[in-house]
Amino acid sequence: MIRKLNFEYKIIIIYLLLGGLWILFSDRLMHSFISNTELLTQLQTYKGWFYVIVTAIFFHFYLKKYLIKIRNAELKAKESDKLKTAFLQNISHEIRTPMNGIIGFAQLLDRDNLTEDQKQSYINIIISSSNQLLSIVNDVLDISLIESGNIIAKSEVVNLNELIDEVYLSLLPTINSNVSFEIKKDLSNNKSIVITDKSKLRQILNNLINNANKFTKSGRITVGYKLKNNEIEFYIEDTGIGIDPSLQDKIFDRFTQAEVEITRQYGGTGLGLAICKGNIKLLNGRVWVCSEINKGSIFYFTIPYKPIKENLTREVLNSSVKTLNSNKVILIAEDEEFNYLFIKELLKKSQIETIYARNGRQAVELCLQNDNINLILMDIKMPIMNGFEAAQEIRKLRPNIKIIAQTAFAMVEDRERALNAGFIDYISKPFNEGQLLTLIDKHLS
């Protein structure tokens, strides 16, 4: 029970207990051995002093231990507060910059007499600023998902060599002009096929390569992997500004950036490496850095090497039958019309026909009227009738129809809730062309 008491009550109780016990037993002890009253009075004084000194020593050690704990906690809180303030300042700047680009150039687009080239360049700026903004929102969401344990890693067949090629090709155009970009693969194509989470692995590589590029004005960036003791060890090596040894562990903590001046010069939110670390942990790996100021850095991370058998690999890889050119019908239930228009635009090149429902109720009615619908893309949050209710109603009419949930929430429980509610799959917004087409292809085949 004493453990539950506040510190100040504990001190008083201990003090009173010790005092009481001391008075009781010391008096009895003295009276049983000494009968001389003069001596007894003198000893009372020494007894008092003894008690004061012993309790002072006891409280000194007890309080010291407690105060050290409090001071450390205070220091940590202050540090975290400072980090959060710096983060908020940074993020506000990081959000405002692309926002300015989007608002400014959208207004310019409204002007008359613009040439086609001008329009195109304004549109390009708006798209790239939007992507920048989206990546910040994604980072903030990712870190909160990782820290709340709300994210799970998938197990899928991944060809590491192909993935590295893909990452290389997608990032090559963004690499600084004075920097050469190289990739090195340790395993043959067959042996490089493993089970891991492809999108997480791609995200980690993208993040580390983007960082390498950000902090390397000239020289070389090399990305590769080696098989070591049943682990794949990836490395991202650069010849950039390097990182001070005292900060090499800290930069993996959220909001932490190596130096304030560097932050100003290079921008960023200090979330990238914390997300990488979280994702690598999800893949059952480790991450660390070796770096020297002004020479460069090598970021290493591992994932377990779980190869899969070659014939099985072929089967899985060849199984993506292209169904997008067949005459299929998809019902898209979505309250935001521009989201529907976006999906329709992505499907324009295919033979797929789309039917539009603005809410869950309409989706149910359209299902009643059209028995040729092959697949439903169902938004979850909709007015009048939400996606869960609509799916339930539709299932009563057409028990075997495939319904895919689409939502702007990217929490694990949303995904699980959707899958438990009978949705066949789940896609979180925003999605890109590749993600949508692969998903549709998978379920129409």
Residues that bind ligand ADP (CB under 6 A): 211-212, 215, 238, 240-243, 251, 257-258, 262-263, 268-274, 297
φ, ψ at 89 (rounded to 5°): -65, -45
Nearer to ligand ADP, 83 or 163 (CB): 83
Nearer to ligand ADP, 168 or 266 (CB): 266
Rounded to a whole number of angstroms, the minimum distance from the CB of residue 69 to ligand ADP is 30
Q: Could you give the CA distance from residue 376 to residue 330 in angstroms, rounded to a whole number?
A: 6
Rounded to a whole number of angstroms, the minimum distance from the CB of residue 270 to ligand ADP is 4
Nearer to ligand ADP, 126 or 243 (CB): 243
Nearest Cα residue to 14 out of 54, 49, 68: 54
Rounded to a whole number of angstroms, the minimum distance from the CB of residue 286 to ligand ADP is 17
* Token code pair at residue 365: 């009615």
CA distances from 160 to 10, 194, 228 (A): 60, 7, 15
In terms of DSSP bridges, do strands 425-428 and 402-407 run parallel, antiparallel, or are they unpaired?
parallel
Q: What is the dihedral of CA 432, 416, 137, 242, to 10 degrees?
A: -90
Rounded to a whole number of angstroms, the minimum distance from the CB of residue 263 to ligand ADP is 6
330-346 burial by CB neighbour count: b if 16+ within 10 A, else e? bbbbbbeeebbebbeeb
Nearer to ligand ADP, 241 or 437 (CB): 241
Rounded to a whole number of angstroms, the minimum distance from the CB of residue 145 to ligand ADP is 16
Rounded to a whole number of angstroms, the minimum distance from the CB of residue 259 to ligand ADP is 6
> 405-413: which pairs have CB atoms within 8 A and are 24 or more residues apart?
405/378, 405/380, 406/334, 406/377, 406/378, 406/379, 406/380, 406/431, 407/379, 407/380, 407/381, 408/381, 409/380, 410/141, 410/145, 411/145, 411/150, 412/145, 412/150, 412/151, 412/152, 413/150
Nearer to ligand ADP, 237 or 334 (CB): 237
Q: Could you give the CA distance from residue 255 to residue 144 in angstroms, rounded to a whole number?
A: 12
Half-sphere exposure for 147 (CA within 13 Å, toward CB) = 11
Rounded to a whole number of angstroms, the minimum distance from the CB of residue 429 to ligand ADP is 24
Nearer to ligand ADP, 276 or 390 (CB): 276
Nearer to ligand ADP, 248 or 354 (CB): 248
Rounded to a whole number of angstroms, the minimum distance from the CB of residue 160 to ligand ADP is 22
Nearer to ligand ADP, 297 or 406 (CB): 297
Rounded to a whole number of angstroms, the minimum distance from the CB of residue 257 to ligand ADP is 3
Nearer to ligand ADP, 93 or 228 (CB): 93
Nearer to ligand ADP, 257 or 359 (CB): 257
Q: Could you give the CA distance from residue 310 to residue 373 in angstroms, rounded to a whole number?
A: 38
Nearer to ligand ADP, 256 or 362 (CB): 256
Rounded to a whole number of angstroms, the minimum distance from the CB of residue 204 to ligand ADP is 11
* 160, 204 contact by CB (below 8 A): no
Rounded to a whole number of angstroms, the minimum distance from the CB of residue 240 to ligand ADP is 5
